[in-house]
Amino acid sequence: MTVNTRMPESLASATGTITVDLGRIAANWKALAAKVAPARCAAVVKADAYGLGGERIIPTLARAGCPTFFIATPSEAEAARNLAPHADIFALNGLVGNAAAAFAHLDVKPVLSTLDDIVAWSALCKARGERLPAAIHIDTGLHRLGLPVRDVRRLAAEPTMMAGIDLCLVMSHLASADNPRDPKNRDQLLAFETLTALFPAVPRSLAASDGLMLGPAYHFDLVRPGYALYGGQASQIAPTPVKAAVTVSARILAVADVAPGETVGYSATWRAKRPSRIATIAAGYADGIPRNASASDGRSGGHVLISGHLAPIVGRVSMDLITVDVTDLPEGAAMPGEFAKLIADDLTIEEAGFAAGTIGYEILTRLGPRFTRLYLDDEAR
């Protein structure tokens, strides 16, 4: 791996870094694509590629052979089109506001989830005198976006509602794919098979990162992983064949002694029970570290890694800072100026999420702009 040449000067005064291993992300996509073949594998790169930087990740995946991308919003559609000029791009949130003309101009396929969206896209096709591709999203039980069963049947009975639309994908989304034993998966699979039979010969897509681990019955023509590409493992039961691709570090600013009985941080939620050493680290809730990631006298919390040693986060997470207990670390392990790791191969986004009562997805997508993003190039594979 070679490190991006922008690294040295940006690192000198960096308070924190996010290192994204582009080679790993490309390898993760290839591993998932191999797993689901002959179904095709797309990449979900919404929310700036889960907060990691679509600008580098989208071209990396396109070079790795990924032909299809999913984003959520019109502004993400425009960015993705510039980064992947020849790719198929689907916009999950549909015709937000009046984005239809922009999508047509960008050659982005909206995922239509309401009859109103379908009528609007059909009207645009008529106005432009051309057939324009789009996907429809049908609801099989998540009850978020997606046409309800009644509307799906109406659409199938009145195909003129879709006049001019080149229907290129029918999709749905699973509610409980992270638990392979949940009967809801099977229920949604059966509903999807029944409803998609109303649109014969149209390619189908049901599974995201966890869904693709439920077996080939869930793959259909296209799978749509996001989180797993970035090394996420939402399902602890059926882990996807991917490797961690993200390291997050923040600078140790100070290390200080705290006497027994003294408290650390706002609201004095943690009290030293022994002579303690506390390291203060330059990342806080403004950087996406959850405010309840810390141990108090009443509950345990998350950890950081310093020179390979785990150190618990103690006292309230504040806006720009966290405090960690380094008392048990060897002498000299925690030094001001050095970096502590908040996420690493052996301190996963899942662990960070669970420790704060949330999920790795939220940890990843909330990492803030004060972290310097560094990229390990995929070319050096």
Q: What are phi and psi of 31, to 5 degrees?
A: -65, -40
Residue closer to ligand PLP, measured from CB, 211 or 284: 211
Bridge partner list, 254: 280
Cis peptide before 203 (omega within 30 of 0): no
Size of the chain, expressed as the number of residues it contains? 381
What sign does the dihedral 73-78-82-88 (CA atoms) show? positive
Residue closer to ligand PLP, measured from CB, 90 or 339: 90
Q: Which residue is nearest to ligand PLP (CB)?
A: 226
Burial 249-267 (b: 16+ CB within 10 A, else e): bbbbeebeebeeeeebbee
Residue closer to ligand PLP, measured from CB, 83 or 212: 212
Residue closer to ligand PLP, measured from CB, 174 or 252: 174
Q: Considering the complex, what minimum distance in angstroms separates the CB of residue 189 from ligand PLP? A: 15
Residue closer to ligand PLP, measured from CB, 226 or 288: 226
What sign does the dihedral 340-341-347-353 (CA atoms) show? positive
Q: Known catalytic residues?
A: 46, 266
Alpha helices by DSSP H, the chain = 7-12, 22-36, 46-50, 54-64, 74-83, 100-106, 115-128, 149-157, 183-196, 349-355, 360-366
Residue pair 154/119 in contact by the 8 Å Cβ criterion: no
Q: Considering the complex, what minimum distance in angstroms separates the CB of residue 361 from ligand PLP? A: 7
Q: Considering the complex, what minimum distance in angstroms separates the CB of residue 305 from ligand PLP? A: 25
Alpha-carbon distance of 246 to 332, in angstroms, equals 27
Describe the crossing of helices 74-83 and 54-64 by its angle, rounded to 10 degrees.
50
Alpha-carbon distance of 32 to 240, in angstroms, equals 8
Helix (H, G, I), strand (E, B) or coil at 87: coil
Q: Considering the complex, what minimum distance in angstroms separates the CB of residue 142 from ligand PLP? A: 9
Residue closer to ligand PLP, measured from CB, 60 or 68: 68
Q: Considering the complex, what minimum distance in angstroms separates the CB of residue 38 from ligand PLP? A: 20
Q: Considering the complex, what minimum distance in angstroms separates the CB of residue 62 from ligand PLP? A: 18
DSSP 241: S
Q: Considering the complex, what minimum distance in angstroms separates the CB of residue 79 from ligand PLP? A: 17
Residue closer to ligand PLP, measured from CB, 3 or 145: 145
DSSP 195: H
Helix (H, G, I), strand (E, B) or coil at 337: coil
Alpha-carbon distance of 326 to 366, in angstroms, equals 26
The amino acid present at 275, given as its one-letter code, is: P
Helix (H, G, I), strand (E, B) or coil at 286: helix
Which residues make up the interface to ligand PLP (CB under 6 A)?
44, 46, 92, 173, 208-209, 224-228
